Structure 1
Amino acid sequence: MAQEPGRGPGTLKSWHGRQAARAIFDMKPRPSAVVCDNGPVAFGVPHELGRMGERAGKALAVAGCDNVVAPLTALSAGAEKIGAIASETLLARLGSATDEARTPARYVAIPGLIVRESSVGPASRHR
């Protein structure tokens, strides 16, 4: 499902996931997996799959992006590590009078994949 103009990441809700699940099942060919913007969207997908008589991890692999504690495969960006880097960077900038310490820096978080029940089995390929 395309991001709506003016909506930032994390603003999508569970009903968006339910809507996406229905749209995915109408696609030809149908994808075998979906990665959702956040937990609420990711919870909506299996909910709708259940209403359709299907099962997440069987009919469609489902993953979220905020590592909620649930049987949902997730991408984890390492919030603790990102927080530590942010606080160390801020403290270094506050404690330095040089312009070099105030130069913007770029950090890239490499997400880890945490595989759970929602994607343990391959979905049957496009019915």
Structure 2
Amino acid sequence: MQEIPGDLKFMKSHEWARVEDQGTVTIGISDHAQGLLGDLVYVELPGVGDTVKAGTACAVVESVKAASDVYAPVSGEVVAVNEALADKPETINEDAYGDGWLFVVKPDNLAEELDELLDPDAYAEQLEEDES
């Protein structure tokens, strides 16, 4: 079982959200998800200035096995994307919770949407249920 950082919130579809000091939210996919996908070869991210809606697909990660939609954990405006992933998508495999982040959102309704997400313990329980 991989380590799940305590400062993150998760979607059941394996995206994570980290609230930053300035109120923005950094988003990525979990270590579990990248492990299921295998070696990532391509990432398609939203553009800066795009609006994303919680629960809707807004990015794609492709591995040698499959392509998978990435869903937004929170709604808001995309204020940054991890451009380094264009040349090195395997960064997500190497550091899913660090350098492998996907994009940053300035949230519209953070408190309410964060309540909809799983805390690390609930996410770990979900992973155990999925494996049994």
Instruction: From the CA coordinates, give the structure whose radius of gyration is larger.
Output: 1
Q: TM-score, normalised by structure 2?
A: 0.23
Q: Write 1 or 2 for the structure with the bigger share of helix.
A: 1
Q: Write 1 or 2 for the structure with the bigger share of strand.
A: 2
Q: TM-score, normalised by structure 1?
A: 0.23
